[in-house]
A and B are shown apart, each in its own frame.
Chain A
Amino acid sequence: MELVFFLCAAVKAGTCLLYATLGEIISEKVGHLNLGVEGMMQMGAVIGFIAGFTFGNPIAAVLCAALAGAAGALIYALLTVSFKANQTVTGLTLSIFGVGFAAFFGRDFVGKKVPEAITTFFQPVRLPGLGNIPYIGDIFFNQSVYVYFSYLLVIAIYIYLYKTKWGLNTRMIGENPVAADASGISVDKYKYFNILLSGALCGLGGAFLSLVYISVYPVDVVGGRGWIAVCLVIFAMWNPGKAMLGAYFFGALDIASFWLQKYSLPVSIYLFTALPYLATVFVLVFTSMRKNGNKKEPAWLGKNYFKEDR
């Protein structure tokens, strides 16, 4: 029974990572390595909380968080798509900016409580039917609506990327923008759309922390989880389904030490905090050895496309 509680907590801990990872997958699929995940999550977290606190409406809070994340992504898109700035540096800058943005605007809200209307809206709800399945129901279907929405997103993003024309075009741009451009696809428009969508998802991931996971607004609620999401994209091999598994695995590692400590294992707790990153290193090694192009990074990832150089 304790294992069930643990896995239920792992799903909760992994949900913020799942949103951000899905976002980053979309951005990388279109060829843009956006290291600003942490920053966009921070912006979503703080704006989501401020909106929730001001309006007392969960939908408004979530929408504002998504817009805030997208606004962060817009800065990135302007610099890298339109002005062809270096993607790595721009992303890092966005992360630093987001942390400062959250600290500045969140200052007056530290210690404030999430309004009652929002906490009740996001309380865990046992789904009829699915929630009664033994074990599985307790782990996956006794969660907040915010978590359920992420399940739907995984499916929606999978369909978008692999079953629609737009997804095909998106992936094509990430693999070979020259060919995409030649076949009449509007490269920049696709890039803007996907990067903004990615930012909105990161914003949602941040707001999960400030609106659902924690009930009193603290300083630095995201606390570096954006970087784990960047690792997770590689861990998941750019696949939304695997991102889900990876997010819960990393979520479980995140909280594992608290559940294992009572057994007094002869293992240092520092090892547990390092585990997600160690796992990523292994996955990096494996993916670089792989021959299968489907499970590798998009060929043009991190490279800007200059139409004039064609």
Chain B
Amino acid sequence: MKKKLGVLMLALIMIVVSVAGCSSGSTSKSNQVTKVGFMYVGPADDGGWSQVHDQGRAKMVEHFNGKVETVVKENVAEEKSAVVSTIRDMVDQGCTIIFGTSYGFMEGMAEAAKEFPDVKFEHCSGYMTADNMATYFGRIEEPRYLSGIVAGLTTKSNKIAYVAAMPIPEVVRGINAFARGVKSVNPDATVNVSWTNTWYDPTVEKAAAEALIQQGCDVTAQHQDSTATMEAAKEAGKLSIGYDLSAATTMPEVYMTAPLWDYSGYYIDRVQAVIDGNWKTGQYWGGMNDGIVSLDTLTSLAPGSAQSKVDTATAAIKSGTLKVFAGEIKDQTGTVRVNAGAELTDDAQLSMDWFVDNVVGSVK
């Protein structure tokens, strides 16, 4: 009897506690705080891609000064079910706008967008949209082209290593833009690509970089989220182009420059739109003029002639006279893909699945 009473009491306590929990949840909701969800593919401090987004998030939170709260989920798997369940959890916690920052979240977000028509979804780097799902990205190929100029001027062996994550249009486009930049100053140099099949796995990235260096590359570039490629360059006494974040303080022995991201402006604008109630879907693709992408200040390791060439090209890109994918462009087989005087359309850039002629490697 005593035991039964105890169980009953325990059940009662549990009910009371859970009801109390519910009520405290609803009071915070009425407090005019906008809740924003962020899903990252890696850890928020990966020293690369996810950290870039997390810095943008932090600046956004600071900008709204208490009016915005964020719910962050790191290491979200690029699978539909994982994405959908993460989103359900975020909506449960009261998020009204959710940013997903990896290409592989696309299908899961599109599905969740149907399930939660009142929640706004923002997907980085994809192409699927809906009335409540927008896409956003930046023309990182502009600073990539500039970093190619630096690499092309640096290489002595005329072989540049490029450690790349996944054979998807985003990465292919970046490699091609980089190779175009290399070619603009050094027509003899090749860009040697190695796929790692992962966005973030330092051991794999380092092994890939070591292989390329042993094959004679003397400058490394990367489309990876860790600094492992630069570590391999450091051990071999080579030089590097980074990505995502400045490595001037963390990798001073090898770092010359990097294409950088700054998402804070976009995050502030979009969250403001949700607060004001005038959020609209769209496909944002900003460039250097919008400040979402830029090239880091060259370090003293970059060749002396690089600064003026980069400055000229930067001005030309900003004024619109230099287009990264303006003809004539040949692919690896020598076929002309873009005629002289023409420019590759945005759609063709977004679905790019071929390499320009000075890239060694294959898209598959």
Interface segment out of the listed A22-30, A187-195, A266-274, A283-291: A266-274
Interface segment out of the listed B84-92, B189-197, B317-325: B189-197
B226 touching A218, Cβ below 8 Å:
yes
**Beyond A223-B201, A261-B194, A261-B362, is A215–B231 a contact (Cβ under 8 Å)?**
yes
**Is B23 an interface residue when CB atoms closer than 8 A count as contact?**
no
CB-CB < 8 A to A261: which residues of B? 193-195, 361-362
B211 touching A258, Cβ below 8 Å:
yes
A255 touching B361, Cβ below 8 Å:
no
CB-CB < 8 A to B360: which residues of A? 262
A270 touching B197, Cβ below 8 Å:
yes
CB-CB < 8 A to B95: which residues of A? none
Give residues 208-259 of B contacting A (CB, 8 Å): 208, 210-212, 214-215, 226-228, 231, 234-235, 250
Nearest A residue to B212, CB-CB = A258
With an 8 Å Cβ cutoff, the count of chain A residues facing the other chain is 29
How far, in whole Å, are A218 and B207 apart by their CA atoms in the complex? 15
How far, in whole Å, are A9 and B212 apart by their CA atoms in the complex? 12
**Beyond A111-B250, A216-B231, A261-B193, is A223–B211 a contact (Cβ under 8 Å)?**
no
How far, in whole Å, are A261 and B217 apart by their CA atoms in the complex? 14
**Is B45 an interface residue when CB atoms closer than 8 A count as contact?**
yes
CB-CB < 8 A to A223: which residues of B? 201, 203-204
**Is A254 an interface residue when CB atoms closer than 8 A count as contact?**
yes
**Is B115 an interface residue when CB atoms closer than 8 A count as contact?**
no
CB-CB < 8 A to B231: which residues of A? 214-216
Give residues 307-364 of B contacting A (CB, 8 Å): 360-362, 364
How far, in whole Å, are A134 and B202 apart by their CA atoms in the complex? 32
**Is A90 an interface residue when CB atoms closer than 8 A count as contact?**
no
CB-CB < 8 A to A236: which residues of B? none
**Is A264 an interface residue when CB atoms closer than 8 A count as contact?**
yes
**Is B47 an interface residue when CB atoms closer than 8 A count as contact?**
yes
Give the one of A254, A255, A262 with max B CB within 10 A: A262
B210 to chain A, nearest CB (A): 6
CB-CB < 8 A to A259: which residues of B? 211, 215
B228 touching A214, Cβ below 8 Å:
yes
Nearest B residue to A10, CB-CB = B207
A97 to chain B, nearest CB (A): 17
**Is B46 an interface residue when CB atoms closer than 8 A count as contact?**
yes
With an 8 Å Cβ cutoff, the count of chain B residues facing the other chain is 35
Indicate with 1 or 0, residue by residue over A57-80, a CB within 8 angstroms of chain B CB atoms: 000000000000000000000000
Give the one of B47, B192, B211, B235 with max A CB within 10 A: B211
**Beyond A5-B214, A261-B194, A261-B362, is A110–B203 a contact (Cβ under 8 Å)?**
no
- Within the complex, which residue of B197, B202, B207 is in contact with A273, where a contact is CB–CB below 8 Å? B197
The B interface is mostly helix, strand or loop, or mixed, namely: mixed
Give residues 217-269 of A contacting B (CB, 8 Å): 218-221, 223, 254-255, 257-259, 261-262, 264, 268-269
Pair count A-B, CB < 8 A: 83
**Is A213 an interface residue when CB atoms closer than 8 A count as contact?**
yes
**Beyond A214-B228, A214-B231, A270-B197, is A258–B208 a contact (Cβ under 8 Å)?**
yes
**Is B287 an interface residue when CB atoms closer than 8 A count as contact?**
no
**Beyond A258-B212, A262-B192, A273-B197, is A209–B203 a contact (Cβ under 8 Å)?**
yes
Indicate with 1 or 0, residue by residue over A201-217, a CB within 8 angstroms of chain B CB atoms: 00000000100011110
- Within the complex, which residue of B46, B202, B204, B362 is in contact with A264, where a contact is CB–CB below 8 Å? B362
A269 touching B197, Cβ below 8 Å:
yes
B43 touching A110, Cβ below 8 Å:
yes
**Is B181 an interface residue when CB atoms closer than 8 A count as contact?**
no
B206 touching A111, Cβ below 8 Å:
no
How far, in whole Å, are A254 and B201 apart by their CA atoms in the complex? 13
Indicate with 1 or 0, residue by residue over B31-46, a CB within 8 angstroms of chain A CB atoms: 0000000000011011
Q: Identify 18 new A-B residue pairs, CB closer than 8 A, beyond the known A5-B214, A220-B201, A262-B361.
A: A6-B211, A6-B214, A9-B207, A110-B43, A214-B206, A216-B202, A216-B227, A218-B200, A218-B202, A218-B226, A219-B43, A255-B207, A259-B211, A261-B195, A261-B362, A262-B215, A264-B361, A269-B364
5 contacts between A and B (CB under 8 A): A111-B250, A257-B194, A259-B215, A268-B364, A273-B197
What residues of chain B have their CB less than 8 Å away from a CB belonging to chain A? 42-43, 45-47, 192-197, 200-204, 206-208, 210-212, 214-215, 226-228, 231, 234-235, 250, 360-362, 364
Sorted from nearest, which 3 A-B pairs have the closest CB atoms? A258-B211, A218-B202, A258-B208
